[in-house]
Structure 1
Amino acid sequence: MQFKSKDFSQAEQVLTIRGLTVGLSGTSMTDPVLRGIDIDIRAGETLCLVGESGSGKSVTSLATMGLLPKGALEITGGRIDLKEVEITAASASQMRELRAKRVAMIFQEPMTALNPVLRVGEQIEEVLSMHTDLSAAEAKARTLDIMEQVHLPDVQRIYSAFPHQLSGGQRQRIMIAMALVLDPDLLIADEPTTALDVTTQQQILKLIAEMQERHGTAVLFITHDMGVVAEIADTVCVMQQGQIVERAPIAELLTAPQEDYTRKLLQAVPNLAPRAPRAPTGAEPVLKVGGLEKVYGGGGVFRKNDEVHAAQDVNFDIAPGQTLGIVGESGSGKSTVARCIMRLIDPTDGSVAVAGTEVARLSRRQLQPHRKHFQIVFQDPYRSLNPRWTVARSLCEGPINFGTSKDEAMDHAGDLMELVDLPRNALDRYPHQFSGGQRQRIAIARAVAMRPNLLVADEAVSALDVSVQAQVLELLDDVQARFGIGMLFITHDLRVAAQICDDVIVMQRGRVVEQGRAADVLANPAHEYTQSLIEAAPGRHWDFANFRALPGASQIAGDYA
């Protein structure tokens, strides 16, 4: 199988970075955050900047945008040129003029990047009013046109909508429209698809490629997902600890990586080949869910059409030591089921039995003694851990509430830290003093502190880079095997589900459309919706661990045949 190589040698040079060094403001005593970065991007080219969290990817993008946080980071060496303009020498007013007009950025989380109190149409028009002399009528016409170009439905309605009234994918399309409305020379996309489900992610990646083709834009795409890189990149720069350790065309990087670090990143990418299923133990299930339903809205004769069935007739069991995964797009009902089981919300109907106790109808007071039997690990550990509490207090709180002495709880907390491969002497630290992967390990330790029968992991690895993700999945597997815990694993990434799940449920619009052993559902999907999810998985045709295309793949990344 041969790659089709794209030749950009004759295209116009858009971005040139030479010897870029960024350090902490006001001190020369610490190591630089970036050290001697060199990057070249030409018109129409997509360069992917990849690496683990903390490698310097986002700092590179912020330096290029002139958005390094004042008083915290500053450029101490090198230069950045956007065509004929030297960004490193530009004043604040010159940079304001360049942003959106010559260089634009799509951020990871559009809900925090968009103004929640302004209609999205007004936010796009604001860019036009700042940088053009268009009349109000012309600005609105241009706004509606760019909204249609990014394939938003019913643009007149969405024009008047607020960000919270749109889906995550629609909000990201608004961000793309806002970034491209002035036809910039360079588009910087900083993890724009990380929080999206696979089908929405596929749509956004196709949209960026389509808009790039239409406008000839150079794209600097920042991601930790090598599957996404395989789909979209022309050139790849691999970053580690503030340096570029390898750069190569996509074909060369995927088939013959030169650096150990690059090989490690590629081999950490989960694939769709399901794990070997563990044999059922025959033990009584730790979780039995029957006819579970959750309905929002309604409430009267005149409001029946407002009812939303977030979960309908969901049935499954989980045995000790087994993992059941629930997969589907955003809004499919996955997290609703998890929250009903945890009693974070009350189910409308059905039964939920945890460790032999029916918990669906218990009051909050009646539920309290049973809480220790089922624990949850959330997507964002920084938000689920109290930032004002030390790790020791977070790990000791549950056991102490259930009668364990403080000294015994502290000893147990130290054991838990070692269980998740963290040092005992880190118990006195606070959450912000740990990396994202370490915080997730602490969240797992806190959940296991109660020796639960059931562990619910709600998108527990979706925010982590692939190498840390692999470590956390291995940790969950080890903890589960050691304590015989049953696990409900919620994810939108079928590649992750394939690595950890024994059984899989596929949900669409609140209903279970397919259910069975992971090896059967993921290897031979029967429902067209499951097939569409698998088809949308990034890098699905690539065997990253062995640096080769999978047999029978006719096309990878659209770049070879």
Structure 2
Amino acid sequence: MEFKSKDFTDSRRVLKIRKLKVGLTGRPNAAPVLNEIDLDIRAGETHCLVGESGSGKSVTSLAVMGLLPKDALEIQGGLIDLEGVEITYAKPSVMRALRARRIAMIFQEPMTALNPVLRVGEQIEEVLNMHTDLSQAEAKKRTLDMMEQVHLPDVDRIYQAFPHQLSGGQRQRIMIAMALILDPDLLIADEPTTALDVTTQLQILRLIAEMQERHGTAVLFITHDMGVVAEIADTVSVMQKGRIVERAPIRDLLTNPQEDYTKKLLMAVPNLAPRAARAPATAKDVIIVKGLDMTYGGGGFLRRSEGVKAARDVNFTIKPGRTLGIVGESGSGKSTVARCIMRLIDPTAGKVSVAGTEIAQLSRRQLQPYRKHLQIVFQDPYRSLNPRWTVARSLCEGPINFGTSKEEAMDKAAELMELVDLPRDALDRYPHQFSGGQRQRIAIARAVAMKPDLLVADEAVSALDVSVQAQVLDLLDDIQDKFGVAMLFITHDLRVAAQICDEVLVMQKGLVVEHGPADEVLSNPRHDYTRTLIEAAPGRHWDFANFRAMERVPALKGATA
């Protein structure tokens, strides 16, 4: 494993933070959100800020940008210096002048950061119009040039596109173009690759490194993914509960972490070593999928079109207590297959048999009695749980609808809370009163309440911190052992698939390109696309749990290990 080993001692210091303290507005006696943060970043350096949700990473970046939410958080002490300019308590007009020109930020979710009713080219140009005297023609030329620098295809077409017409990776490239078009001294990237596929993530990380090399930009990169840290960092600061508990060059941090919290974060990172193979199941298949097709669009009154073939001739089976993982990039057809099986959408063709019943062609009314046999856990539990319902009501709704008495359902809900390691007395709380990991546990409990034969997990851990992610994966494993539930696990992260799946099915553009036992697919992939996915996995060469480089990395055809 090769690390970045540049020495930045003689480089100019771009950002200096000393004893920064941020607290709740109007509550000076409350515990601080940030407590005496010290940070230095030099030109050309990538400084990664890591830690779990709530550790203070994003608050640190918002304080530097002057974007702390009014009437909620305020700076209560310390110093923020941007190349000799103290901006700790700078007026809004001063910060507006510095943003984009001296300091810029890439946000985690470009779809919420970009204006949905403006063309993306206009949004990049807006930065030039606000901070330069370029003519309209010059601004457009500069914008198109910047779009080419971030490797967007067909820039004239994309210039005219709206955000919803672009892929997630293309939208993130637009955000990078917008952030770097005025060549700022400091770039803050707040979880810019969290929701992206591994191949798109790799492209974005390489792009940021390329732009940094070209412009000498200092980068403050915020992430909870230690795999990404291993790929890009020069220096790492570990945050916990508003404090920096450890700071070190990347080599030192990964090979010799000092703090228990740092060790905990590293040991929770999944790797590509497949789980130990479980004994083959001899029971009948819980689910049988044959020749599943799904085509979106097509037809029409005036003209016919073939539509988009999101899934083509998909075949697989899952036995009780076994997990099949479907992996691939966005648009590969993973979630389409899951939604067809759940009958959230109707497949165009094919058969889906669950617990011995063919459900693919049943009407909605006919399907109702069989819904209890299959349950789903979505990626974002906050959107799938009713915010106006207590946890008790969410857990009891399904059983009551299928004839269970309210008293029995409440007793079962209390047992389920213990099963997912949450207190019984939390039943009267609402979703917003829990952390993201706790909400996902509640969503899993709601699914298990129906005693399903098949549990579908659609990117169920992709938005969670690595430590919480590990806990949720362990919980799913325990549930399978106790109840013998078959599981269909949808993910774009091969490292997660390796930890939980018995079999792996790889999809590309609606087609199954590889399918087999997890250890065979991940250790000895046969298809070039599978090799590409594995090679793109961040931190693939690193054994985080043992603080050392991998002794053996699978030799992939056409790739350098």
Distance 1:3 1:280 in 2: 41
**Match for residue 226 of structure 1?**
226
The Cα of 1:87 is off from its aligned counterpart by 1.2
**Match for residue 452 of structure 1?**
452
Distance 1:46 1:171 in 2: 23
**Match for residue 468 of structure 1?**
468
Distance 1:101 1:553 in 2: 43
Q: State whether residues 299 and 305 of structure 2, in contact with CA within 8 Å, keep that contact through their aligned partners in structure 1.
A: no
Q: Which amino acid aligns with 1:170?
A: Q
Q: Deviations over 1:132-190 (max 9, x none)?
A: 10000000000000000000000000000000000000000000000000101100000
**Match for residue 73 of structure 2?**
73
The Cα of 1:311 is off from its aligned counterpart by 0.1
For residues 397 and 323 of structure 1, do their structure 2 counterparts lie closer, same or farther at Cα, with a shift above 3 Å needed?
Answer: same
Matches within 5 A, 1:152-551: 152-300=152-300, 303-305=303-305, 307-551=307-551
Q: State whether residues 25 and 72 of structure 1, in contact with CA within 8 Å, keep that contact through their aligned partners in structure 2.
A: yes
Q: Which amino acid aligns with 1:236?
A: V
Q: State whether residues 20 and 34 of structure 2, in contact with CA within 8 Å, keep that contact through their aligned partners in structure 1.
A: yes
The Cα of 1:3 is off from its aligned counterpart by 4.8
Report the 3-state secondary structure (helix = DSSP H, G, I; strand = E; otherwise coil) of the residue aligned with 1:59.
helix
Q: State whether residues 325 and 491 of structure 1, in contact with CA within 8 Å, keep that contact through their aligned partners in structure 2.
A: yes
The Cα of 1:294 is off from its aligned counterpart by 0.1
Report the 3-state secondary structure (helix = DSSP H, G, I; strand = E; otherwise coil) of the residue aligned with 1:447.
helix
Q: State whether residues 3 and 250 of structure 2, in contact with CA within 8 Å, keep that contact through their aligned partners in structure 1.
A: no
Report the 3-state secondary structure (helix = DSSP H, G, I; strand = E; otherwise coil) of the residue aligned with 1:427.
helix
The Cα of 1:384 is off from its aligned counterpart by 0.4
Q: Which amino acid aligns with 2:290?
A: G
**Match for residue 102 of structure 1?**
102
Distance 2:459 2:300 in 1: 35
For residues 473 and 182 of structure 1, do their structure 2 counterparts lie closer, same or farther at Cα, with a shift above 3 Å needed?
Answer: same
The Cα of 1:474 is off from its aligned counterpart by 0.2
For residues 8 and 426 of structure 1, do their structure 2 counterparts lie closer, same or farther at Cα, with a shift above 3 Å needed?
Answer: same
Moved over 4 A (4+): 1-4, 300-306
Report the 3-state secondary structure (helix = DSSP H, G, I; strand = E; otherwise coil) of the residue aligned with 2:88.
helix
Report the 3-state secondary structure (helix = DSSP H, G, I; strand = E; otherwise coil) of the residue aligned with 1:395.
helix
Distance 2:133 2:413 in 1: 63
Q: Deviations over 1:482-507 (max 9, x none)?
A: 00000000000000000000000000
**Match for residue 558 of structure 2?**
none
Report the 3-state secondary structure (helix = DSSP H, G, I; strand = E; otherwise coil) of the residue aligned with 2:58.
helix
Report the 3-state secondary structure (helix = DSSP H, G, I; strand = E; otherwise coil) of the residue aligned with 1:36.
strand
The Cα of 1:30 is off from its aligned counterpart by 1.6
Q: Which amino acid aligns with 1:126?
A: E
Q: State whether residues 280 and 319 of structure 1, in contact with CA within 8 Å, keep that contact through their aligned partners in structure 2.
A: no
Distance 2:85 2:436 in 1: 37
**Match for residue 143 of structure 2?**
143
Report the 3-state secondary structure (helix = DSSP H, G, I; strand = E; otherwise coil) of the residue aligned with 2:284.
coil
Distance 2:238 2:517 in 1: 37
Report the 3-state secondary structure (helix = DSSP H, G, I; strand = E; otherwise coil) of the residue aligned with 1:410.
helix
Report the 3-state secondary structure (helix = DSSP H, G, I; strand = E; otherwise coil) of the residue aligned with 1:394.
helix
For residues 3 and 463 of structure 1, do their structure 2 counterparts lie closer, same or farther at Cα, with a shift above 3 Å needed?
Answer: closer
Distance 1:2 1:325 in 2: 31
Q: Deviations over 1:361-411 (max 9, x none)?
A: 111111111100000000000000000000000000000101111111111
The Cα of 1:513 is off from its aligned counterpart by 0.1
Q: Which amino acid aligns with 1:454?
A: L
Report the 3-state secondary structure (helix = DSSP H, G, I; strand = E; otherwise coil) of the residue aligned with 1:89.
coil
The Cα of 1:281 is off from its aligned counterpart by 1.9
Report the 3-state secondary structure (helix = DSSP H, G, I; strand = E; otherwise coil) of the residue aligned with 1:18.
strand
Distance 2:478 2:493 in 1: 21
TM-score computed with the length of structure 2 as normaliser: 0.98
For residues 511 and 4 of structure 1, do their structure 2 counterparts lie closer, same or farther at Cα, with a shift above 3 Å needed?
Answer: closer
**Match for residue 89 of structure 2?**
89
Q: Which amino acid aligns with 2:473?
A: L
Matches within 5 A, 1:113-128: 113-128=113-128
Distance 2:551 2:483 in 1: 39
Distance 1:303 1:149 in 2: 40
Distance 1:222 1:340 in 2: 36
Q: Which amino acid aligns with 1:351?
A: K
Report the 3-state secondary structure (helix = DSSP H, G, I; strand = E; otherwise coil) of the residue aligned with 1:309.
strand
**Match for residue 54 of structure 1?**
54
Q: Which amino acid aligns with 2:380?
A: D
For residues 129 and 387 of structure 1, do their structure 2 counterparts lie closer, same or farther at Cα, with a shift above 3 Å needed?
Answer: same
Q: Deviations over 1:310-368 (max 9, x none)?
A: 00000000000000000000100000000000001110000001111111111111111
**Match for residue 558 of structure 1?**
none
Distance 2:124 2:244 in 1: 35
Distance 1:549 1:144 in 2: 42
Report the 3-state secondary structure (helix = DSSP H, G, I; strand = E; otherwise coil) of the residue aligned with 1:88.
coil
**Match for residue 131 of structure 1?**
131
Q: Which amino acid aligns with 1:109?
A: E
Q: State whether residues 321 and 487 of structure 1, in contact with CA within 8 Å, keep that contact through their aligned partners in structure 2.
A: yes
The Cα of 1:553 is off from its aligned counterpart by 6.3
Distance 2:501 2:333 in 1: 18
**Match for residue 557 of structure 1?**
none
The Cα of 1:29 is off from its aligned counterpart by 2.8
For residues 407 and 301 of structure 1, do their structure 2 counterparts lie closer, same or farther at Cα, with a shift above 3 Å needed?
Answer: closer
Distance 1:296 1:428 in 2: 42
Q: Percent identity?
A: 80
TM-score computed with the length of structure 1 as normaliser: 0.98
For residues 455 and 167 of structure 1, do their structure 2 counterparts lie closer, same or farther at Cα, with a shift above 3 Å needed?
Answer: same
Superposed CA RMSD in Å reads: 1.4
Distance 2:377 2:89 in 1: 46
The Cα of 1:4 is off from its aligned counterpart by 5.6
Distance 1:336 1:482 in 2: 29
Report the 3-state secondary structure (helix = DSSP H, G, I; strand = E; otherwise coil) of the residue aligned with 1:393.
helix
Q: Deviations over 1:95-154 (max 9, x none)?
A: 111111111110111000000000000000011101110000000000000000000000
**Match for residue 24 of structure 2?**
24
Q: Which amino acid aligns with 1:515?
A: H
Runs of at least 5 residues in structure 1 that lack an aligned partner in the other structure: 555-560
Report the 3-state secondary structure (helix = DSSP H, G, I; strand = E; otherwise coil) of the residue aligned with 1:291.
strand
